[in-house]
Amino acid sequence: MWAALAARDAAADGRFVFAVRTTGVYCRPSCPSRAAKRENVRFYAGPPEAEAAGFRACRRCRPDAAGPEARRRAMVARACRRIETAETEPALAALATEAGLSPFHFHRVFRAVTGVTPRAYARARRAERVAATLQEAGTVTAALYEAGYNAPSRFYAEAPARLGMSPTAYRRGGAGARIRFGVGACTLGAILVAASERGVCAILLGDDPDALVRDLQDRFAAAELVGGDATFEAWMARVIGLVEAPGRSLDLPLDIGGTAFQQRVWEALRRIPVGATASYAEIARVIGMPAAVRAVAMACGANALAVAIPCHRVVRSDGALSGYRWGVERKRALLAREAGECGEA
């Protein structure tokens, strides 16, 4: 952020604001005002945080006024709400008309902001509704129609990518699913790696190996849990290698699962560069839902793929480390390792 401020980088506008302690004013990163001393500068996720700290908006750069990027994200957020509340998937042309854009331009903007296409977002949202209702609905088919699927065949074609198993197996707590797993040790303590037929579905860290196994059993209560074979042991070694050097690529298939919202958050986390961090508020803005800071934090906490989905790179707006489900010390260690790898590069 300091580098962006020193360069008056307009591309950083909307990502954060900076405040000057000696003037009591906060500005956009691109503000042409006189440069302030580093020790007098404070960074905030946005105008609300800066104003809550007692600073007022600069009259020159008007950081409290919505710029093009803010308007674009607000437009996409409205489209997301439209998709989420519609009984059937809205047509691309209809969404574009409501946004005042051509279908091509709207499709490009939506994907740039959320990381997925409007159709992919709609499908993920429907799958999320099914996942939420499978436990209560009398039948799988009833849950599908309640979630907005016109034909069950469409959901069954998409289900493995969203649930990691068949709808019936998901409804029964993973019944029929076969999950290989292994428990080992790394420099951060105990590690459990598990994989479904689709890919790695859990990377858990902790101090007690037995507690990690219980966690896996709770996640897949009715699944068949089996020890890993030689191929799985090779996968496990690669995962441990990722923990030891979190800047490298895992290059293994992942069975991510999760709700539509969680997938959007996790995809945003995977785009955070190695050695960098982002705040919960920044992630909320990236996915087009700036008010969903707490929900973003909960999605980070629900991540079961430690390091592979780098929730350790998310920090508080003031830069402090908190909220890591596997312990703040492990979070600090992972960030230090990434910083070291970037320094060596």
8 A C-beta contact, residue 297 and residue 169 = no
Binding residue per annotation — 58? yes
8 A C-beta contact, residue 224 and residue 179 = yes
State yes or no: is 300 an active-site residue. Answer: no
Q: Which residue has the tokens 């945080």?
A: 49
Q: How far is CA 214 from CA 33, 49, 206, 211, 290, in A?
A: 57, 40, 12, 5, 35
Helix (H), strand (E) counts: the chain: 15, 10
Q: Name the active-site residue from 80, 201, 300, 311.
A: 311
Binding residue per annotation — 61? yes
Q: Max Cα separation, the chain?
A: 66
CA distance 274 to 251: 16
Binding residue per annotation — 300? no
Q: Name the active-site residue from 27, 80, 201, 300.
A: 27
CA distance 76 to 90: 14
Binding residue per annotation — 27? yes
State yes or no: is 27 an active-site residue. Answer: yes
8 A C-beta contact, residue 170 and residue 134 = yes
Binding site, by residue number, is: 27, 31, 58, 61
- Residues with catalytic annotation? 27, 311
Binding site for Zn(2+), by residue number, is: 27, 31, 58, 61
